[in-house]
Structure 1
Amino acid sequence: MYIRHLDIYTNQKTQVFPLAMLKDIRLGIDGNVWLKRVLQSASEQYYSGIGGTPSGLRKAIEKELESFKSASIHPLFVFSGLTLIRKEKPHVSDEGKTTKRNAAWESVNAGKMDVALSYWNQSHAIHQPDLIHLVMRILKEHGIDYIRAPYDAGAQLVYLEHNPKQIIHATYAGPELLMFDVERVITSIDFSKQSFSAVSKKTVLQDLMLTDDQFLDLCILAGGDQCSTFPSFVQSAFAPASVERLLQHRTGFNLIKSNANDQQLSKYVDVYFRVRCAVRHHPVLTDDGHVEPMNADQAPNDIHEFIGYCLPNEVYYYISRGLISDAALNALLCRYGAEFSPLCNGETKEYRNFLSGDIMKIKAQTITLIQSQLNTFYNDRKVSIIHWYDNSASTAQEHVVKPELAPVKVSDISNWKSGKQSVEKELKKAGIATPTYSFALGLVANPSDAAATVLAKDAEKPAPLATLAEVQTRHISKLLQLRSFIETSHVPSPYGKAILDAYKAHPTAPSEFQDALFIALELVRSELLTSRPYSISYNKKPVLEDEAATKAVRLVSRTASLIGARFKGVKSWAGPLNRDLLAFNSVNKVLTRNLRHLSEALILQMLLNNECQREELDFTDLATQLPFAYEPSTVLGILVKEYLETLALNSSSSSSNNNNNKEQALKQVEENIGATSASSLSDTIKEEVQRGFAFWDLVFDAVKSLGSAVRKELLQEFQDANNWIKSRKV
């Protein structure tokens, strides 16, 4: 719960203590506040130009965890969950950001990278929810405890610190935690100086000469993400003049009422009381698994008016384990979702048509899955998505998520039962630890095996799945069916068969290609993975004069950018940028994010529908192994593009043999991207480009398998591109 200018004020009141004071304590950490600071140390200078996940994120997190371990501090990370309900329709406007991004790219084209970075820094902050899945996965790998609060992480931390069981002994969070009933808050830790800073609430109240209630009022009037700044507070709310005004009127309510003649304040009282109640009675997850408001004995009966409608305790528990994120649930509870502009600005017709077309269909599946297991109150609840580009006062438009948009209905995936094959035995035979798409498809590749998994209409409900592997396999199978990779009869569709054929042709293809191949085939179906340029092309003059070559390079580099380049995580990319590839990356990102939400909604539906023996499952294992957790940048696509174009240009002016040309082209690419970028990669340029081609081969064989399931012209684009690069691979 951000409060305007509070951090500036409290920075002057913090005290510094030796880090040794925290030795052997259980430290509760606001995960969102901590991650924001970690991202500063893991900053990707050209992040806005390449997208994806910051390359230094894992290293930065692991360094922090090692520092906690060295200091003998035992962290418990608490991440925020659902947002508080808002009565008003959200206003989605990105005009300021899009203008600055365009200015940044103009500076890139003019070679003024410092100016471009300045514009990008003003126009973008990394969206933390996109990273939470990966962060939790890293914490899980290192055996670090974490939970997700039902709502705000701060309230949950207060509950944990006040708990008689002393679940945590101290709290590391933002100064906003002072609004709650706390003694002090640790606001920063400096491992290099072996010190930490903390602010005492008693010190703050004495300095401002306010009571606890008055301080809460001042924070609300200061404004933040839940309430706009009180109009007459021209200066900071924590400036002496503002504090004096509050003291004169004794309460925030009296101060607001003194401006009652101002029509702009007519709704302010309502917002003020809603935020005030939300702080005093914020819901928390108790140690016995229930969600209850703080100060429950004093809580009003209409708590849903300022928090939102209550969900089953079981849902909150799955939120706490990281099984489902907030996006789809927030949209259902608030009746609105929002699509903000991507890093490329989302100016192409293809991107916008994708949002209002195929992405809306995935959202329909996601929302319907959740609604199917909740109270009937939610069944007819209308959810609208607001897009940044049509939300001006004159063209405001809502895109309603309608169940009938879903290409495959929830009822269609309800007839699964265990087949003849043992999942565990088949996994062992395949030599893999966890189920993959190709594994799940292989179990139903034979029509008789597929028929054995179909539950007859009048049959009794099958026994719940007992093992993690069975749950994961069923989850993947249903996800494949929802996305039309598996038919109603449970046999693979042409798209499912394409995955099987691709992995038969490339049995040693790495497992990291699985999600990317799924995405590639989704984009082939939407005709967005194509050699054709999008409606807006940012590189006006093609590097190669041969149109066939230009098309081949475009398709292959787009495909390669669906997998991430591998970084050491110490230095960040400082090489060439490509806005056309960034436009494709935005398509990939929005699809990946929505497939992740669909995957989460599906596992939630399975659990609430009693398809699994819940007492046998480790939910954090299940959560951290869900698909679509990682988003690649454009870097590998850039490397493949640079190599192919350099090789083509060299070959046209050289009579030397092909192998010499390839090595020379790789050397030139390394020189072109610069020593810093080359040394930021875990592998050599050659090895990275080879990975790009390996993935292309996998995708090409999958698309070739589709045959008549795709347009003849699109199939020919892939064939032409493959013919062109065949002799140019390394």
Structure 2
Amino acid sequence: MPVRHLDFYTTQKSLVSVQPLSVLKDIRLGIDGNVWLKKVVTTAASEQYLAGIGGTPSCMRKAIEKELEGFKAASIHPLFVFSGLALIRKDKPYVNDDPKIAKRNAAWDAVNAGKIDLALSSWSTSYVVHQPDLIHLVFRILKERNIDYIRAPYGAGAQLVYLERNPKQIIHAVYAGSELLVFDVDRVITSIDFAKQTFSVISKKAVLQDLMLSDDQFLDLCILAGFDLCPTFPPLSAEGAFAFKSIHELLLQHRTGFNAVKAYADSPQVVKSNYVDLFCRTRCAMRHQPILTDEGHIEPMNVAQAPSDIHEFIGYRLPDEVYYYMSRGIINEATMNTLLCGHGAEFSPLCNGETKEYRSFLTTEIMQMKAQTLSLMKARLHPFYDRKISVVYWYESSSAPEHVIKMDTASVKVDSICNWKSGRQSIDKELKKSGMTVPNYSFALGLLSNASDASSTILAKGAAAADNSAPLSTSVEVQTRHLSKLLQLRSFVDTATHAPTAYGKAVVDAFKSQPGASSDFQDALIVALELIKSGLLSSKPYSHNYTKKPVLEDDSAVRAVRLISRTSSLIGARFKGIKSWAGPLSRDLLAFNSINKILTRHLRHLGEALMLEMLLANECQKDALDYTELATHMPFAHEPSTVLGILVKEYLEAMALSSKLSKDQAVQQVEEHIGATSLSSLAHSVRDELQRGFAFWNLVCEAVKSLGAANAVSKEQAQEFVDANNWAKSRKL
């Protein structure tokens, strides 16, 4: 967050200068990616229904592309810098989502009462788009447009200051929040208005002169006022009474922030928050925050004056190589933060996570996936990192016992994936033959379907990798090996033989039986099979069913619609990105979407940790790889909403309610029900979206058929899909 009330102060004192955008022509502009993305999200998040349908804002891509076009038209060359690791925390995290949960429940009560405006009001104060959920989409768009970006080792601000101060003039100016003024900068661009062709800038010299403070005193002022690294000084933090002027007067009285804090050292509020220590740690962190140098090294700012115990306020140091991979988007900061601080937190999902199924999934399958992810990350690091890591949940009190991640709980141990070498097939040649440009799961599994081909990828026991296999030299080889290992970790590939298991064979069989199936279905089919394996993709209602009275009376119809709509919601509806959804909602589908989201996110984290392990294990010829290319093509980057599931549900219920209704009439009825606004938000017709939903349903049915033939699922599970498919056979488009 920005420094509390600093923006108000600079505006009130007329310290913000507005200049024509032409002044920035042909400059290299360093941009705080998080500040910029917040502006974009604010524009895109006018999608008021987002909290009710899940997924990412449908207008997000268009909003980003519009911004990038603005920079291009103004001849500004942007370099986006996103924040990395968080500074170390000494306290155990505590998740208090009670206010959000209450507001979400109030929103759904309003929906059920037909009071949509009231629901939107409750959602707007209970939901903020989480930036880490968007970062993969952002990186992909920036990569597509050949725009430079990096992730800083820690804060983006420190990295931007280094880039601007660098003698090589890597950037010429900085676009960030006003909080960047705490660093050694001359001025900060705080906003750009492409419509008005102007930008706003603050001069630090003007601010210091107005406040009559030195640079060191201004840093103290900002820390005492409060920002994301440190809360407001407790004796002056009352929401209604707080004023920037109060902090300023306190500092003028005591001359330094430390003196001011020590003067209140016996205050119960200061003692309880351990504010004296927190102030000192924050001050040191701001002066010596680590940055990535142009030579690829990690070092503190003002390194000559940096104390020897920098790890006490920054955190434990990782190898420079890890920071570099993080800067290119290979590994996300959230997982690294969990490893470094020893704690992870699970927040309530949009449905509030009230079902037993969701909570059980978190503490079983997701916990095992966390164990795999962290084991991969620790595998090539110093033994120091082989330490206890625990998880806290939003539905438990702060005094609840710790949930320790036990690294040996996963069904497939990470050390079992070390026996891979290049097989007899030329991966590049096979990929070209298939007509694909990037390998996917069915391609990777296809290479292993022949027993002799699979056995040729097994590294001889006791042999060093260098003895049997040269490092992977192309992105295609790396991506294929990465997918194969990921499938092995998730039990789609046999650990001993490298042949596809029943679940891996189900993927191959499904795509063979549906040759026209979209390549977009690859991730979704893996997710579907993971959920079938966990018993969560079924026709049964969850423990907390939000539909009090089903639209249909026939139980077999209710179960069929439930299963097919859940399955369809695993792929996202396609939007134009101009208007947002404002049609029907389903909290039951949102509950399923929450399970899909948490699984997709952790599969993504697992894939990133696996790529990091492969790089640190020197399986790849590192100087031949484009790391941003590898990062943007890693799987499970997309989190769909419930919209396609809602469309399928609406259509099937319309067909079931009237035997005289034709398919065309049912489609028309769906169109009328969702309304003109939602209809115009879709990039394709409702009919096209429904056909796409049923195409994915058919693919999943073929996969389940293969699993049933191999006795890999229970007869009851297999029969659920058969029954639902038979019920829908005459109704499908």
Quote the Cα distance in structure 2 between the aligned partners of 1:343 and 1:458.
Answer: 49
Residue 663 and residue 541 in structure 1: after superposition, are their counterparts in 2 closer, same or farther (change >3 A)? same
TM-score (norm 2): 0.97
Q: Which residue of 2 aligns with 1:147?
A: 150
Quote the Cα distance in structure 1 between the aligned partners of 2:11 and 2:330.
Answer: 36
Instruction: State the SS of the aligned residue for 2:41.
Output: helix
1:164 Cα offset (Å): 0.4
**Matching residue's letter, 2:349:** P
1:344 Cα offset (Å): 0.5
Q: Which residue of 1 aligns with 2:433?
A: 429
1:458 Cα offset (Å): 2.8
Instruction: State the SS of the aligned residue for 1:17.
Output: strand
Q: Which residue of 1 aligns with 2:452?
A: 448
2:583 to 572, 575, 582: 575
Asked whether the 8 Å contact 1:384–1:398 carries over to 2, the reply is yes
Residue 236 and residue 472 in structure 1: after superposition, are their counterparts in 2 closer, same or farther (change >3 A)? farther
Quote the Cα distance in structure 1 between the aligned partners of 2:420 and 2:2.
Answer: 46
The 5-angstrom pairing of residues 360-379 of structure 1 reads 360-379=367-386
Is 1:638 aligned with 2:643?
Answer: no
Quote the Cα distance in structure 2 between the aligned partners of 1:430 and 1:548.
Answer: 41
Q: Which residue of 1 aligns with 2:408?
A: 404
Is 1:88 aligned with 2:95?
Answer: no
RMSD: 1.1
1:406 Cα offset (Å): 1.6
The 5-angstrom pairing of residues 211-250 of structure 1 reads 211-233=214-236, 234=238, 239-250=244-255
1:238 Cα offset (Å): 5.3
1:124 to 124, 127, 130: 127
**Matching residue's letter, 2:187:** R
Is 1:439 aligned with 2:443?
Answer: yes
Quote the Cα distance in structure 2 between the aligned partners of 1:9 and 1:699.
Answer: 58
**Matching residue's letter, 1:8:** F
Q: Which residue of 1 aligns with 2:696?
A: 695
Q: Which residue of 2 aligns with 1:719?
A: 722
1:131 Cα offset (Å): 0.8
Quote the Cα distance in structure 2 between the aligned partners of 1:144 and 1:154.
Answer: 19
Q: Which residue of 1 aligns with 2:333?
A: 326
Asked whether the 8 Å contact 1:342–1:586 carries over to 2, the reply is yes
Quote the Cα distance in structure 2 between the aligned partners of 1:181 and 1:207.
Answer: 18
Quote the Cα distance in structure 2 between the aligned partners of 1:110 and 1:14.
Answer: 47
Asked whether the 8 Å contact 2:81–2:151 carries over to 1, the reply is yes
Identity of aligned residues (%): 68
1:371 Cα offset (Å): 0.5
1:264 Cα offset (Å): 3.2
Instruction: State the SS of the aligned residue for 1:581.
Output: helix
Q: Which residue of 1 aligns with 2:388?
A: 382
Quote the Cα distance in structure 2 between the aligned partners of 1:460 and 1:15.
Answer: 63
Quote the Cα distance in structure 1 between the aligned partners of 2:244 and 2:394.
Answer: 35
Asked whether the 8 Å contact 2:94–2:398 carries over to 1, the reply is no
2:285 to 274, 278, 285: 278
1:107 to 107, 110, 115: 110
1:448 Cα offset (Å): 1.1
Instruction: State the SS of the aligned residue for 1:386.
Output: strand
Is 1:681 aligned with 2:691?
Answer: no
Instruction: State the SS of the aligned residue for 2:125.
Output: helix
Quote the Cα distance in structure 2 between the aligned partners of 1:361 and 1:337.
Answer: 14
Q: Which residue of 1 aligns with 2:20?
A: 18
Is 1:258 aligned with 2:263?
Answer: yes
Q: Which residue of 1 aligns with 2:70?
A: 67
1:228 Cα offset (Å): 2.1
**Per-residue Cα deviation, 1:627-658 (whole angstroms, up to 9, x for no partner):** 0111000000000000000111121xx3xxxx
Is 1:317 aligned with 2:324?
Answer: yes
1:126 Cα offset (Å): 0.6
Asked whether the 8 Å contact 2:537–2:563 carries over to 1, the reply is yes
1:572 Cα offset (Å): 0.2
1:8 Cα offset (Å): 2.5
1:236 Cα offset (Å): 7.1
Asked whether the 8 Å contact 1:221–1:237 carries over to 2, the reply is no
Is 1:157 aligned with 2:164?
Answer: no
Instruction: State the SS of the aligned residue for 1:123.
Output: coil
Q: Which residue of 2 aligns with 1:518?
A: 526
1:263 Cα offset (Å): 3.5
**Matching residue's letter, 1:344:** C
Is 1:561 aligned with 2:569?
Answer: yes
Quote the Cα distance in structure 2 between the aligned partners of 1:650 and 1:724.
Answer: 14
Is 1:547 aligned with 2:550?
Answer: no
Quote the Cα distance in structure 1 between the aligned partners of 2:266 and 2:83.
Answer: 38
Q: Which residue of 1 aligns with 2:731?
A: 728
Quote the Cα distance in structure 2 between the aligned partners of 1:132 and 1:327.
Answer: 12
Asked whether the 8 Å contact 2:224–2:247 carries over to 1, the reply is no
1:51 Cα offset (Å): 0.5
1:296 Cα offset (Å): 0.3
Instruction: State the SS of the aligned residue for 1:189.
Output: strand
Instruction: State the SS of the aligned residue for 2:698.
Output: helix
**Matching residue's letter, 1:217:** D
Instruction: State the SS of the aligned residue for 1:97.
Output: helix
Q: Which residue of 2 aligns with 1:194?
A: 197
Q: Which residue of 2 aligns with 1:529?
A: 537
**Matching residue's letter, 1:27:** L
1:6 Cα offset (Å): 2.4
Q: Which residue of 2 aligns with 1:657?
A: none
1:291 to 298, 301, 309: 298
Asked whether the 8 Å contact 2:474–2:624 carries over to 1, the reply is yes
Q: Which residue of 1 aligns with 2:309?
A: 302
Gaps of 5+ in 2: none
Asked whether the 8 Å contact 2:174–2:188 carries over to 1, the reply is yes
Q: Which residue of 2 aligns with 1:42?
A: 44
**Matching residue's letter, 2:537:** L
**Per-residue Cα deviation, 1:417-436 (whole angstroms, up to 9, x for no partner):** 11111001110111111111
1:399 Cα offset (Å): 1.5
Q: Which residue of 1 aligns with 2:705?
A: 704
Q: 563-572 or 209-218: which moved more? A: 209-218
1:237 Cα offset (Å): 6.3
**Matching residue's letter, 1:672:** H
1:191 Cα offset (Å): 0.4
**Matching residue's letter, 1:561:** S
Quote the Cα distance in structure 2 between the aligned partners of 1:143 and 1:95.
Answer: 43
**Matching residue's letter, 2:393:** H
Asked whether the 8 Å contact 1:93–1:388 carries over to 2, the reply is yes
Is 1:600 aligned with 2:608?
Answer: yes
Asked whether the 8 Å contact 1:650–1:665 carries over to 2, the reply is no
Asked whether the 8 Å contact 1:219–1:237 carries over to 2, the reply is no
**Matching residue's letter, 1:423:** I
Q: 512-521 or 244-253: which moved more? A: 244-253
**Matching residue's letter, 2:703:** A
**Matching residue's letter, 1:547:** D
Asked whether the 8 Å contact 2:235–2:269 carries over to 1, the reply is no
Asked whether the 8 Å contact 1:344–1:579 carries over to 2, the reply is yes
Asked whether the 8 Å contact 2:423–2:456 carries over to 1, the reply is yes
Instruction: State the SS of the aligned residue for 1:487.
Output: coil
The 5-angstrom pairing of residues 345-356 of structure 1 reads 345-356=352-363
Quote the Cα distance in structure 2 between the aligned partners of 1:506 and 1:684.
Answer: 22
Instruction: State the SS of the aligned residue for 1:406.
Output: coil
Q: 258-267 or 304-313: which moved more? A: 258-267
Instruction: State the SS of the aligned residue for 2:192.
Output: strand
Quote the Cα distance in structure 1 between the aligned partners of 2:10 and 2:638.
Answer: 36
Instruction: State the SS of the aligned residue for 1:709.
Output: coil
Q: Which residue of 1 aligns with 2:598?
A: 590
**Per-residue Cα deviation, 1:431-470 (whole angstroms, up to 9, x for no partner):** 1111110000011101111111111113331211111110
